[in-house]
Structure 1
């Protein structure tokens, strides 16, 4: 799949917009000469349009020699397209610098805690490391530990990250996400939390009176704790079914933290119109957008939408990590930053020191460049889809929601019912998460008690538990939910 956004608020027909987007991707270098494009049926399914609309766009691009169609074979980017310009259109986004990456590779941690509880733990905060049973992964570490004689880091690499890793990350993002990134804009981190802390340190006093950072409520709690730890004022921001409510941004925030590709914990993705609205409002107020790329590598349902960074690279910082898709032990992540922040990031990293070891950087760079992570991700996505089917079979009658990543939620009638299900599951050895915990709930005083989340339910992380234990575990959950729902008044 390729990231294409179709807009209903412009006069251009859908076929014209599709053609314009493919021209843009070709001009930006995201689609290379000879690279196959999705079949008309697959792209139509991704975009939610008729197959005839895609066929019309492809026919136009074939006539323009952007595409070449082989009878009985795949439609590909024309081999002579490397220097083609892209025409501006209402639906197109401006092209950026082409990457200089030479390797062939690909690309969260969110540094979730690793543990082995006595009970079967399906709570989202526990992330058992994925076992990478891959000879190329082991060989990458052996080679990294014994670098060739004379191989030394270049000046500045200990601060920003090894050039070979930054180039491999850029190539990975191009191949897997159609993101065209200049390696010079990439900073190596030890994970998403380290990346956020580095950005906040770089902003420092430059944020002036607008020092508060807004975050989604509900939202992923790990990065929220980073803001509290570094002394940043953190403001909860309203969220609806489409993500952060852009029209309600408070004037006090100088930056906002969002997860547009996985609206946590429900999943789902921020639709294109909301993305455009959010970026326009943030840019108009001079607000920096910090994009947490949570679970995007494991997205297995819905269309692939461009990241916020792709839509506004000069006003968005993109946080990514390999600690979920590989192992937290690697401690390798990255951020993509606008040029205006480079000096501040370099100064902050120089003061704080780099937590990413050169050996780990060389190993991950080698694994990316050799295509090992691409192969691993393909296998892992298939495994998540298989697990998703098990969860759906057990909890489908309760309207279980599984939109992205490897989390599932079941909404329940009340917070009391949710706590009842959590307790009863725990009594028989299955731990599940509390949906209400993902809202920011400051104390309202002893008289009122803690604020209640607007939605009650349970959250299940089904990606880390042993596959053989998953089925019996979710059957336990289904039994306990089935037990309490008939007892709810009005059911």
Structure 2
């Protein structure tokens, strides 16, 4: 049968910075993958399609050449251009969440929020605008002199491991050497390596409510997630089941409730781990920022055989830096390093070199002292306006604003109307939320904006939680 001449509907946007050739190739590719253009159909000649679209012939010929190279088109000189044989993709369906279809406004990026002039109080971001720029430039110049290693050590650069060991001795009172350390890209990378070592099927206890990303990382490695209840002091160690292979905990500043795991519970946790053989993964979350008393010693310092400590410089310096660590028994470090090498996972050499200089010159310590003072001022603003309602305000870069369940949506709606983006506790729970309220991050918000946001939230909380007669 003769092959019919296809006449595809194509839209090119001249206001789009994307080159017209790229746009045309994309439009044709989409038409072929969705079945609008079918195998063996003949496309218009380059001259004809260029006239139809009002573009130069070169735009069309270059797009055709790209699709020839990708295998989408075929033909012989003088006989025309045809759609090559392929299987059209089946229509994709998007599962609809319980609360309705997803919206681009549900989880905008922080850049999108800033671009619209809104105040972003979602947790998880530090203040990155008061760095010592001279120190950073010096560090990156040092990194530029980094000589690449053809076979990078999966543990990280030896000098950086030595410096991080010294940093942990000063900041967390942990006596470790470089043999106890692996340099990672952050706590998520460290947890992923631990999960990869333990393998699929591991029963992994995770605080509930707790850090949702930890659940996701462990589940992605095939772990069976076991929710473990917490209260205002942290993990309920008396309710831990005996069949866990791992328990993930944030004892320095529990996320999101903000509790600090008391010494008796720490001792019970380590006794439980020794009895069951489980591994305790300690995320040293927010340990650097404490506003009432000195932080308790890390769990790792109490039992180096049973505890793996995860840490990061993302909150201290910059999330883009991508430097963290695993601290563990040397034998476990060796096993983790083997797993990491097998996964071809590594931390950027130049980034490690830059971090070395920041540690060697004391720039990191100076920055940490400066940011403790700055975050304490921001925390004071929250306490001034919302102090009667807050929990977990003695450390870290977030607080919890507990609310009656029925008040959560109206308070969020009132805040959104004033251009303030907040996050509720639903993403911290394994299933239905056990705690209701807002998780407020104050690390990345300028103080004037934070003050205004606090005033708006305080008014909304009073309006939606106090009885009419009061």
Task: Classify 1:326/1:370 alpha carbon distance in 2 versus 1 (closer, same or farther; 3 Å).
Answer: same
Cα distance, 1:426 vs structure 2: 0.7
C-alpha contact (below 8 Å) 1:130/1:326 kept by paired residues: no
Aligned to 1:271, which of 255, 262, 265? Answer: 262
Cα distance, 1:314 vs structure 2: 0.9
1:348 equivalenced with 2:365 (yes/no): no
1:371-386 aligned within 5 A = 371-386=362-377
1:332 equivalenced with 2:312 (yes/no): no
Aligned residue in 1 for 2:157? 162
1:249-264 aligned within 5 A = 249-264=240-255
C-alpha contact (below 8 Å) 1:203/1:344 kept by paired residues: no
Structure 1, unmatched stretches of 5+, are 1-112, 442-450
1:262-341 aligned within 5 A = 262-341=253-332
Aligned residue in 2 for 1:429? 419
C-alpha contact (below 8 Å) 2:208/2:429 kept by paired residues: yes
**Cα deviation per residue 1:94-153 (whole Å; 9 max; x = unaligned)?**
xxxxxxxxxxxxxxxxxxx75441321102155564542342222011011124xxx665
Task: Classify 1:241/1:396 alpha carbon distance in 2 versus 1 (closer, same or farther; 3 Å).
Answer: closer
Structure 2, unmatched stretches of 5+, are 1-108
Secondary structure, aligned partner of 1:250: coil
1:418 equivalenced with 2:408 (yes/no): yes
Q: Distance in 1 between matches of 2:156 and 2:129?
A: 25
Q: Distance in 2 between matches of 1:377 and 1:172?
A: 12
C-alpha contact (below 8 Å) 1:114/1:129 kept by paired residues: no
1:67-106 aligned within 5 A = none
Aligned to 1:204, which of 199, 202, 209? Answer: 199
Secondary structure, aligned partner of 2:229: strand
Task: Classify 1:123/1:263 alpha carbon distance in 2 versus 1 (closer, same or farther; 3 Å).
Answer: same
Aligned to 1:173, which of 163, 168, 171? Answer: 168
**Cα deviation per residue 1:283-313 (whole Å; 9 max; x = unaligned)?**
1110000000111112222332111100000
C-alpha contact (below 8 Å) 2:125/2:315 kept by paired residues: no
Aligned length: 360
Aligned residue in 2 for 1:193? 188
C-alpha contact (below 8 Å) 1:409/1:459 kept by paired residues: yes
Task: Classify 1:223/1:128 alpha carbon distance in 2 versus 1 (closer, same or farther; 3 Å).
Answer: farther
C-alpha contact (below 8 Å) 1:122/1:430 kept by paired residues: yes
| Moved segments of 4+, more than 6 Å | none
Cα distance, 1:403 vs structure 2: 2.2
Aligned residue in 1 for 2:140? 141
Q: Distance in 2 between matches of 1:401 and 1:482?
A: 20
Which stretch shifts more, 265-274 or 131-140? 131-140
Task: Classify 1:130/1:189 alpha carbon distance in 2 versus 1 (closer, same or farther; 3 Å).
Answer: farther
Q: Distance in 2 between matches of 1:307 and 1:323?
A: 19
**Cα deviation per residue 1:71-97 (whole Å; 9 max; x = unaligned)?**
xxxxxxxxxxxxxxxxxxxxxxxxxxx
Aligned to 2:205, which of 203, 214, 230? Answer: 214
Secondary structure, aligned partner of 1:388: helix
Larger radius of gyration: 2
**Cα deviation per residue 1:32-75 (whole Å; 9 max; x = unaligned)?**
xxxxxxxxxxxxxxxxxxxxxxxxxxxxxxxxxxxxxxxxxxxx
Cα distance, 1:183 vs structure 2: 0.6
Which stretch shifts more, 185-194 or 173-182? 173-182
Q: Distance in 2 between matches of 1:304 and 1:128?
A: 21
Task: Classify 1:398/1:286 alpha carbon distance in 2 versus 1 (closer, same or farther; 3 Å).
Answer: closer
Task: Classify 1:437/1:424 alpha carbon distance in 2 versus 1 (closer, same or farther; 3 Å).
Answer: same
C-alpha contact (below 8 Å) 1:114/1:128 kept by paired residues: no
